[in-house]
Structure 1
């Protein structure tokens, strides 16, 4: 199953350069890297990235993260994937730009 992480372009560029990341400031504060499922990612984009146009959507295989990935209740009681280790480039299945359109972010076909 693919799970998704949204990055500001500068955060993504830093991850590519460093080979891994502990995430954005919210991830560092919470102690894990936040991910969303395909059913959750559009709401995540709208809630946390509504004003951002230069984003990168990154997909990762949940099964490849093993026991470091925990499914925990969050927004509305829904289970969200949380990674309790650095997110590594080797975890990335693909990355794509996530542009902002007139009515919200434009997701790649098949994601939402």
Structure 2
């Protein structure tokens, strides 16, 4: 089951340095290995970001949180059930696996860690 309505006007992407640099340098990215393997770019709603950080990025540094304007992703943004919750995934039109364009990024913040907790103004 899937839904197509974002909970707010934005979705969020935790980005590693190489991905953020590629996005700035080329104007687009297909994400990391998991995104390329699954054929979609994985996002989170704001209330899911800390869980994603703790489950998949614990111990990593130099991470960035990208705020993405969901309206710029159009019908390519789909919410899909993962266990008991829905996560936003970007496939592109007709599930053609399109890259995330830089112009969809409305804000970027470097994530800080303090006592093992991630923080930035978007999360606080």
Determine the C-alpha separation between the residues in 1 that align with 2:68 and 2:74: 12
Q: Provide the residue aligned with 2:74 in structure 1.
A: 66
TM-score with structure 2 length normalisation? 0.83
Check whether the contact 1:8–1:55 (CA below 8 A) recurs between aligned residues: yes
Instruction: Give the unaligned 5+ runs of structure 1.
Output: none
Question: Is 1:101 aligned with 2:101?
Answer: no
Q: Provide the residue aligned with 1:86 in structure 2.
A: 99
Check whether the contact 1:52–1:100 (CA below 8 A) recurs between aligned residues: no
4+ residue segments displaced more than 2 Å: none
| Superposition map of 1:1-112 within 5 A | 1-74=9-82, 76-84=83-91, 85-109=98-122, 111=123
Determine the C-alpha separation between the residues in 1 that align with 2:118 and 2:107: 18
Q: What is the root-mean-square deviation of aligned Cα atoms in Å?
A: 1.3
Determine the C-alpha separation between the residues in 2 that align with 1:69 and 1:56: 21
TM-score with structure 1 length normalisation? 0.91
State the structure with more CA Rg.
2
Instruction: Give the unaligned 5+ runs of structure 2.
Output: 1-8, 92-97
Q: How far does the alpha carbon of each residue in 1:50-104 deviate from its partner, in whole angstroms, 9 at most, with x for none?
A: 0111101100111221101011011x32111100121010110110101122131
